Amino acid sequence: MLLPQVILEGVMVGGIYALAATGLTLVLGVMRVLNLAHGHFMMIAMYLTYFLYVFFGLDPFLSIPISMLFLFAVGMALQRTIVRPVIDAPVVNQMILMIGLLIFLENMAAFLWTHNYRALKGYEGVVLSFFGFRLVSTRLAAFAMAVIITVLLYILVMRTKWGRAVRACSTDPDAAMLMGINVPRIRLQAFGLGVALAGAAGSLITTTYYIFPSVGMHYIIVALVIVVLGGMGNIFGALAGGIILGLVEALTSFYVSSQLKLIGVFIVFILLLLFRPEGLFARKRG
């Protein structure tokens, strides 16, 4: 039962990866801006969750709304001040800005909280056993919460007036503006929501992973691969891609080494770019 157990663990982690990737794909789809600092917003949420737990005893799952609201405000502030001016700039300019932002966030975290690894000491889940499998309750709860938030995001984007405006801005901003949609406002809200989703993913991953300033680099690499794997702008594609990548990581750790688990991620990324650059779940355009 060891291999099925590893696969199950990979699925659990993959759900959280998927949540992180949905925020990235939302911003990329609406604004055509690749938010390379996305993983570092997760890192900020991880520290916020950690300090709420240490100083106030707040359960990490209950800190999710706080993380999302805080990072939604941060995302909107950054979009207004530094992101909006480069929306129509060349991609290289956008990438330089985002790399500068992630470097700033990482160094700010190191300055404020040092490079020491932190974890939620004393926060342990109950081990559940069923059909020979063993699962920690916190991991199962984190996976369930990630799937729920992803489904709610899908409903918001596909079944609401705001979601129709988002999809219109994603497809053709100029036509959307002619139809009376306030494109700058939609972009502002979409960027804020994308960063807020990074906050939710950061709070969830805190229950199972160490916290340190450079942890965001791991998650931005994973999120980028998931966005390509699931197809640009495809929310359920991101969910499926996250689970697939979680499985790849878990199997690489099991058969190769936990220190080299990113090798499997890079192999998947290279194969995608070679044979299916549009993604496994990309929508076909008529």
Could you tell me the sign of the dihedral formed by the alpha carbons of 158, 161, 163, 168, in that order? positive
H-only helix segments in the chain: 2-31, 38-56, 64-78, 91-113, 137-159, 161-171, 173-178, 183-205, 215-230, 235-255, 261-275
pLDDT for residue 68: 97
pLDDT for residue 40: 96
Decide if 5 contacts 133 (C-beta within 8 A): yes
Angle at Cα 15 formed by Cα 62 and Cα 189, nearest 5°?
65
pLDDT for residue 257: 83
Please tell me the total number of residues recorded for the chain in this structure: 286
Q: Provide CB contacts within 8 A for 42, sequence distance 6+.
A: 20, 198, 199, 201, 202, 205, 215, 216, 219
Give the span between the Cα atoms of 224 and 91, in whole angstroms.
16
Question: What are the tokens at 14?
Answer: 């993959």
pLDDT for residue 277: 78
DSSP code at position 81: I
Decide if 235 contacts 283 (C-beta within 8 A): no
Q: Provide CB contacts within 8 A for 57, sequence distance 6+.
A: none
Question: What are the tokens at 177?
Answer: 């503006």
Give the span between the Cα atoms of 56 and 50, in whole angstroms.
10
Decide if 27 contacts 271 (C-beta within 8 A): no
pLDDT for residue 93: 92
Give the span between the Cα atoms of 81 and 78, in whole angstroms.
5
pLDDT for residue 203: 96
pLDDT for residue 234: 80
CA dist 215 to 147, 155, 162, Å? 22, 30, 33
Decide if 119 contacts 207 (C-beta within 8 A): no
pLDDT, averaged per 10 consecutive residues of the chain (286 residues), comes to: 83 90 89 91 97 95 96 96 91 93 97 94 82 83 93 92 92 90 94 96 92 94 88 81 90 84 85 81 56
Name the phi and psi angles at 128, rounded to 5.
-105, 135
Decide if 26 contacts 193 (C-beta within 8 A): yes
Give the span between the Cα atoms of 62 and 79, in whole angstroms.
27
